Amino acid sequence: MRVLLWILLLAGAALSLYLSYGLATHTLMVGSRDGRWVYGYMQPLSIRIGIVYVVALALMLFLLRASNRPGWAGELGVVAVWFAAALVIQALVCWLAPFGFEKIFLSDGANSFNSVASRFTPATMLGDFERARTFWPPHGQSNMPGKAILVYWLRQLSKDPLVLAWLVVVVSNIGGLFLYGIARDLFDRETALYAFVLYLVTPGKMFFFPLLNTATPLVVFLATWLFVRWQRTRNPIYAVLLGPAIYAIVLFEPLGLAVGGLLLFLMAWGFSRGMMRGRSFVWQGTLAVAAFGATYAWMYSRFRFDLLAIVRLLAADAQRFNVEALRPYDVWVRQNLFDFVIAAGACQAVLLMAAIVSGLGSGGSIRDRLSKPAVLVSLGLAFTLGATDLIGINRGEVVRLWIFLACAWQLPAAYVAAQLNHRLAFALVLAVTLLHDVLGTAMIGFILPG
């Protein structure tokens, strides 16, 4: 089995290098001309891309080696060091982008939430959403108010656009802590650390810093972590907290509810391990639903904000946009999958299949094999991607819109690297992912301030 996993890892790395070659030579197209959306190339290959890559990779490999030393900094210390180092690595990579953070954050074309937050309070955004949004830039009009509310809160810390941009990066990185917790409960400490590190350099996230889409994983993984903790402990407190967390997902980015596909498979994990039983699930699940309902009722009574009515309104806008922008379903139902691989990483896509193979190839009965966390997580992620794609709401731009899902796809890759139990395995995943990051960030205009 180890030999097969190494073969799949090398195949994933080779595919990633092939796509990186396409980026370097400007022959790889992200998007579709037939689908009327393409991310264009803006900068040529340069020596500074190579310098940044070598420096960033050297720093990550040094930290990786230090992290594996027994008793180096303790579990929390290692995570804290990686969290701090990630900001340096992200600054290096994002320095290569065609436009700086300040210009992006001030641009209504790229990020309308700053101007919305500077002119409207959260009470107005919620209580008078339908009327107030007519005064917002187009991007703000098409989004739930959660992102603008987050920027409003961040503006209480600083009004400087560069500082605000980096605060968004920090908020985005906090989402990785919840992914760490998810992996820690499902797998082990090593897999959790690897998942956290890969989360920090997920290509789609790196390409779109400091847009608010990079913060979506925080609310999605918070809810997922609460669900996993609930399944593992049967503690009703987690069920109660899950209700408001799901509300927060809808308020911030309704598409994040797609993670429900993964939660269905994680529920199977809880039942198969005997951690959750029918009676407990029913009454504690009722608590979660009641907590969601209480949050809904409080928001409605306090702000007259009808969450589901606003979701239906924006969903209708999205469908109308697809028609007016001439984005055909048949083109994007295929192209979205390719673009998603660009966002998640080609090596990660192959390693998801490797995680399934590893779980199914282990000992035990068929039921035992299918109930392995690696198998259930990987199947759940594949199912979620397929279902989200087939729905067809998003036609193009999924490198940005599905960032939360791209981050989740780091879990199987982390698991396989940990199973191989060799530092070189994870170093290889890290190396090809970082190369993908620097080339895509430097050469393609993923964000166009306007």
**Residue 400 located in a structural domain:** yes
For residue 315, what are the CA distances in angstroms to 235, 245, 392? 35, 21, 12
For the record, the structure tokens of 330 come out as 């048949």
Nearest 5°: phi and psi at 397? 65, 20
Whole-structure pTM value? 0.96
Question: Domains in the chain: how many in total?
Answer: 1
**Residue 407 located in a structural domain:** yes
**Residue 152 located in a structural domain:** yes
**Residue 11 located in a structural domain:** yes
Domain range enclosing 349: 2-443
Angle at which helices 346-360 and 2-24 cross, to 10°: 170
Distance CA 174, CA 322 (A): 33
What's the confidence (pLDDT) of residue 124? 96
Angle at which helices 423-443 and 47-67 cross, to 10°: 150
Distance CA 33, CA 1 (A): 42
Nearest 5°: phi and psi at 304? 60, 35
What's the confidence (pLDDT) of residue 69? 77
What's the confidence (pLDDT) of residue 277? 79
For the record, the structure tokens of 216 come out as 């979506």
**What is the pLDDT tens value at each position of the chain, 450 positions in all?**
788 999 999 999 999 999 999 999 999 999 999 999 999 999 999 999 999 999 999 999 999 998 877 767 788 999 999 999 999 999 999 999 999 999 999 999 899 999 999 999 999 999 999 999 999 998 889 999 999 999 999 999 999 999 999 999 999 999 999 999 999 999 999 999 999 999 999 999 999 999 999 999 999 999 999 999 999 999 999 999 999 999 999 999 999 999 999 999 999 888 877 777 778 888 999 999 999 999 999 999 999 999 999 999 999 999 999 999 999 999 999 999 999 999 999 999 999 999 999 888 776 777 777 788 999 999 999 999 999 999 999 999 999 999 999 999 999 999 999 999 888 999 999 999 999 999 999 999 999 997
**Residue 449 located in a structural domain:** no
**Residue 376 located in a structural domain:** yes
**Residue 450 located in a structural domain:** no
> Which has the closest alpha carbon to 79: 62, 65, 67, 71?
67
**Residue 220 located in a structural domain:** yes
For the record, the structure tokens of 349 come out as 């896509």
The residue written with tokens 């790229």 in the block is: 110
